[in-house]
């Protein structure tokens, strides 16, 4: 009588290999389908390249374009709006590597205990380098048109708008100061008795 046991074991092993191969093919096909679906649904959005803290101005180095699968229920900024984001102020801390939420950026907000004052400065009374919103400055009282020096010390402020150069060389800009200093700064500005010093900025 012939022993058929080895043939049976071999047949079972072959079936297992066939089943394993079929499963691998199915999984590979599923993975390819998912990859294709994610790729076909990818959109270009604005992402955070470097961490930006609240009240800091967003520069071109802080943001980048990235492609992601279309997020569901998540607000993002389309890549086409990148130029509109640069120069805006971070309203919340923006973490490196995250996607930019449109509600996280905007114009500078006046905090409680502060006021905003408009200045008109003659040529030579502010740095030639552009002062971006969020830049810390010191407002220094100087002699005005009358030549009489004003009383009182300097005032720390934060630039709230990019200076706008006028045809006569003067610059218009807004600054934010403590409420207690607002009235005095406004009076000095009206009398043309202010100059600006830029303060050292903390590195990012």
pLDDT of 172-190, one tens digit each?
999 999 999 999 999 999 9
pLDDT confidence of residue 22: 60
12 membership: H or E segment, kind and range: helix 5-40
CA distance 50 to 196: 29
Name the pairing type of β-strands 89-90 and 105-106: antiparallel
Contact 155, 181 (CB under 8 A): yes
pTM for this predicted structure: 0.55
pLDDT confidence of residue 130: 85
pLDDT confidence of residue 138: 97
Number of Cα atoms under 13 Å in the Cβ half of residue 133: 24
116 φ/ψ angles, rounded to the nearest 5 degrees? -110, 135
190 membership: H or E segment, kind and range: helix 179-190
The single-letter DSSP state of residue 79 is: G
Which residue has better confidence, 148 or 81?
81
Tell me how far CA of residue 131 lies from CA of 4, 77, 136, 158, 173, in angstroms: 91, 26, 9, 10, 9
The alpha carbon of 144 is separated from its chain's Cα centroid by a whole number of angstroms, namely 39
Question: Residue with structure tokens 């971006």?
Answer: 132
Number of Cα atoms under 13 Å in the Cβ half of residue 51: 5
The Cβ of residue 134 has, within 10 Å, a number of other Cβ atoms equal to 19
Which residue has better confidence, 126 or 23?
126
- CA angle, residues 57, 58, 62, in degrees to nearest 5: 140
Residue 116's nearest CA partner among 192, 194, 186, 196 is 186
Ranges of each domain in the chain = 1-40, 41-106, 114-198
- CA angle, residues 95, 98, 101, in degrees to nearest 5: 95
Q: Please give the structure tokens belonging to residue 36.
A: 């294709």
pLDDT confidence of residue 23: 62
CA distance 10 to 18: 12
Query: CATH: 3.60.15.10, 3.40.50.300, 3.90.1210.10, 3.90.228.20. Which one for 41-106?
Result: 3.90.1210.10
């Amino acid at each position: 009588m012939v022993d058929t046991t080895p043939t049976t074991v071999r047949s079972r092993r072959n079936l297992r290999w066939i089943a394993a191969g079929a499963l691998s093919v199915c999984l590979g096909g599923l993975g390819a389908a998912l990859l294709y679906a994610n790729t076909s649904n990818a959109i270009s959005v604005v992402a955070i390249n470097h961490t930006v803290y609240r009240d800091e101005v967003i520069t071109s180095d802080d943001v980048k374009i990235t492609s992601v699968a279309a997020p569901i229920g998540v607000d993002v900024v389309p890549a086409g709006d990148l130029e509109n984001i640069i120069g805006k102020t971070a309203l919340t801390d923006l973490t490196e590597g995250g996607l930019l939420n449109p509600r996280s950026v905007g114009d500078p907000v006046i905090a409680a205990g502060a006021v905003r004052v408009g200045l008109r400065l003659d040529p030579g009374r502010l740095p030639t380098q552009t002062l971006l919103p969020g830049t810390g400055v010191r407002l220094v009282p100087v002699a005005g048109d009358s030549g009489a020096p004003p009383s009182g010390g300097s005032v720390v402020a934060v630039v709230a708008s990019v200076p706008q150069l006028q045809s006569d060389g003067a610059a218009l800009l807004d600054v934010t100061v403590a409420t207690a200093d607002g009235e005095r700064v406004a009076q000095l500005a009206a009398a043309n008795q202010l100059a600006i010093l830029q303060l050292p900025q903390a590195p990012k």
